[in-house]
């Protein structure tokens, strides 16, 4: 009201402005606190009661302060001093909370704690001491708390000054640390770039490109065939196979045609002449003509290795699923309870393919028709393949839990090889 200049108005106008600011709910509360006494003065639905007449010759008017007291008694809940003190003692400074906010929170809660002497003659207050103790106990920084517990009984003002100075110093230190870390990071980045320039660049041993961490996934020579060694996984330019070079070469000084003779054989041939002293060497063609080396003709019988011929030769093996000879008997545990799973509904689109597959399995001897009551009924699992056919499986989980297992040790390759020691016929 001071800002709008209404504090100089009459008390009736102040009350009307106050009720107008409260709104509809405030109007209802005001009419409840001051029931309508038939006053002719009304504003915004609020009946301003007539002046209370205590003396026929003297009239008194209700003031705004009286209305505020009435509203406080009506709206402000009753507070328990012990509970408010407990809330005050449980206030601690939170991380990243400034000391000013922490102090304001303590002072706000301390208003409801009634820290003053109950004697009517003393009226001494303990607010400053309780606030000082709560600040020392509730500060977040343990270094500051240790500094405040140095043994000196300082006043509240001294404790607050120390906390503010410590907070400002801590903020300045963070600024300096941030600048130093920025300079250090820039220097480390520059040094890293210098080291990267000094180091030789790595290349891929397969394709010759620069090596990177993800180069293994994108290497173009992964599935390439080398034209030099005919191996996969690298280009010819990066092939590590050494070229076969002669250890020593000798230049030729000319050729001469001479005859070479063995027992009963005479042959004319070109002879390469060199200046150094070496034992004469005959070539392959000359050795064959003179009969020194005999060429043997080997008869090779080639067998067909095509898939079609192999399947045609063993046609009986690849026809149908096949069966193991004999019968196997399954033993159940004692007190095993049979389980019957009710038939699940099958989509109409799968009924025809399912019947075709079941007929094939029935003709192949994989399954048999059951036309009599049985104690065990299992679920049928149907999965559609990518080619449109169905994979039919049985889910005999309850039956597997009731089967007696046969425990035996599967022989290893080493065990079988030891049994074949000193064997000559296989």
pLDDT in tens, the chain (426 residues): 666 666 667 777 788 888 888 888 888 888 888 876 444 344 444 444 443 433 444 344 678 888 888 887 777 777 788 898 999 999 999 988 999 999 999 999 988 888 876 666 665 578 888 999 999 999 999 989 998 888 778 888 999 999 999 999 988 988 888 766 666 666 666 666 666 655 666 788 888 888 777 777 788 888 888 888 888 888 888 888 766 555 455 555 556 555 555 556 677 777 777 777 777 777 777 787 777 777 776 666 666 567 788 888 888 887 777 778 888 898 999 989 999 988 888 888 888 989 999 998 888 888 889 889 999 999 888 988 888 889 999 889 999 999 998 888 888 988 888 888 888 877
Residues 113 and 46 grouped into a single domain: no
User: By C-alpha distance, which of 156, 159, 177 is closest to 167?
Assistant: 159
Give the C-alpha separation, 26 to 19, whole Å.
Answer: 6
Same-domain pairing of 67 and 88: no
In a domain, 283, yes or no: yes
Q: Are 58 and 114 found together in one domain?
A: no
In the chain, how many domains are there? Answer: 4
Written as six digits, the tokens of 387 are 């080619």
User: 107, 17, 103, 134: which is closest to 67 by C-alpha?
Assistant: 17
Domain assignment present for 274: yes
Residues 354 and 389 in one domain: yes
Q: How far apart are CA 258 and CA 268, in angstroms?
A: 6
Same domain, 58 and 111: no
Pair (87, 163) in one structural domain: yes
* Residues 110 and 149 grouped into a single domain: yes
Do the Cβ atoms of 159 and 166 come closer than 8 Å?
A: no
Distance (Å, whole) CA 400 – CA 393: 15
- Both 115 and 140 in one domain: the answer is yes
Residue located via tokens 């009304």? 42
- Give a yes or no: residue 272 inside a domain: yes
In this prediction, residue 94 carries a pLDDT of 92
Same structural domain for residues 111 and 125? Answer: yes
CATH number of the structural domain spanning residue 100: 1.10.1200
* Residue 423 belongs to some domain of the structure: no
CATH of the domain at 396: 3.10.10.10
pLDDT at 388: 83
Q: What is the pTM of this model?
A: 0.34
87/118 same-domain check: yes
Query: Helices 127-138 and 99-110 meet at what angle, rounded to 10?
Result: 140
The region that residue 422 occupies, defined by phi over 0 for left and psi between -120 and 50 for alpha, beta otherwise, is: left
Is residue 86 located within the same domain as residue 44?
no
pLDDT for position 51: 38
19 by Cβ neighbours in 10 Å (0-12 / 13-18 / 19+) ranks as buried
Same domain, 43 and 113: no
| pLDDT score of 102 | 93
Q: In this structure, is residue 264 part of a structural domain?
A: yes
Last-in-domain residue among 154, 172, 190? 172
pLDDT at 209: 84
Residue 238 lies in a domain: no
∠ CA 251-252-256 to the nearest 5 degrees? 170
384 bridge partner residues: 390
Lookup: tokens for 385: 């393949």
Alpha carbons 138 and 106: distance in angstroms, whole number? 10
Is the sign of the CA dihedral 387, 390, 395, 396 positive or negative? negative
pLDDT of residue 48: 45
Q: Give the structural domain span for 88.
A: 81-172
Residue 91 near residue 105, CB atoms below 8 Å:
yes
Is the residue at 396 inside a domain?
yes
31 assigned to some structural domain: yes
């Amino acid at each position: 009201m001071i800002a709008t200049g209404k504090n100089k108005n009459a008390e009736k106008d102040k009350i009307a402005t106050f009720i107008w600011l409260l709104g509809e709910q405030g109007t209802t509360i005001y009419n409840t606190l001051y029931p309508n006494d038939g006053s002719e003065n009304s504003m915004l639905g609020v009946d301003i009661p007539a002046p209370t007449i205590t003396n026929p010759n003297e009239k008194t008017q209700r003031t705004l302060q009286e209305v505020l007291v009435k509203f406080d008694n009506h709206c402000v809940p009753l507070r328990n001093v012990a509970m408010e003190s407990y809330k005050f003692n449980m206030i601690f400074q939170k991380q990243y909370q400034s000391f000013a906010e922490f102090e304001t929170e303590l002072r706000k809660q301390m208003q409801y704690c009634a820290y003053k002497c109950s004697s009517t003659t003393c009226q001494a207050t303990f607010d400053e001491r309780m606030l000082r103790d709560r600040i020392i106990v509730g500060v977040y920084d343990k270094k500051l708390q240790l500094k405040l517990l140095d043994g000196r009984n300082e006043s509240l003002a001294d404790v607050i000054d120390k906390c503010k100075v410590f907070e400002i110093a801590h903020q300045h230190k963070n600024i300096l640390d941030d600048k130093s870390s920025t300079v250090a990071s820039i220097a480390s980045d520059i040094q890293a770039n210098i080291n990267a320039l000094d180091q030789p660049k790595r290349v891929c041993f397969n394709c010759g490109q620069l090596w990177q961490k993800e180069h293994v996934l994108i290497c173009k020579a992964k599935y390439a065939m080398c034209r030099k060694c005919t191996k996969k996984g690298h280009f010819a330019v990066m092939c590590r196979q050494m070229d076969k070079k002669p250890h020593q070469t000798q230049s030729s000084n000319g050729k001469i045609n001479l005859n070479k003779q063995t027992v009963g054989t005479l042959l004319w041939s070109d002879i390469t002449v060199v200046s150094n002293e070496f034992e004469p060497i005959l070539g392959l063609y000359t050795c064959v003509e003179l009969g020194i080396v005999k060429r043997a003709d080997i008869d090779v019988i080639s067998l067909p290795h095509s898939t079609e011929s192999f399947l045609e030769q063993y046609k009986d093996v690849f026809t149908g699923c096949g069966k193991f000879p004999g019968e196997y008997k399954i033993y159940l545990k004692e007190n095993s309870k049979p389980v019957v799973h009710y038939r699940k509904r099958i989509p109409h689109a799968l009924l025809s393919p399912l019947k075709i597959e079941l007929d094939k399995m029935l003709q192949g001897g994989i399954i048999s028709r059951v036309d009599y009551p049985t104690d065990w009924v299992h679920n049928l699992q149907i999965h559609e393949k990518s080619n449109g056919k169905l994979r039919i499986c049985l889910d005999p989980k309850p039956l597997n839990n009731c089967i007696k297992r046969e425990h035996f040790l599967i022989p290893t390759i080493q065990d079988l090889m030891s049994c074949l020691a000193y064997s000559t016929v296989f």
